[in-house]
Amino acid sequence: MPSPERKKILLRLDPAVHDALARWASDELRSVNAQIEFLLRRALADAGRMPRDAGGLPKRGRPRKQDEDE
């Protein structure tokens, strides 16, 4: 089942905030974009505002290779 198209937004950040996010993302082996989404989802969940129909986070890394037997 194909995943729904992801929304694209323009986000303006203070350069120091972006640098801090980039370091944090690197420490957790995420892209800056994935780190921002992770933090937004955590904030929504903590505030009890996570939509029930929100999909999960996309899988990180390369897709697994399919065995020829499958």
Per DSSP, the residues of 6-20 read PP-------HHHHHH
Per-residue pLDDT tens for 30-58? 999 999 999 999 999 999 999 988 877 76
The whole-angstrom separation of Cα 17 and Cα 14 is 5
Res 27 pLDDT > 90 = yes
Count other Cβ atoms within 10 Å, centred on residue 18. 14
* pLDDT of 68: 55
pTM over 0.75: no
Res 19 pLDDT > 80 = yes
* pLDDT of 15: 98
* Residue 64, both tokens: 């697994």
Which residue from 47, 56, 43 is spatially nearest to 6, judged by alpha carbons? Answer: 56
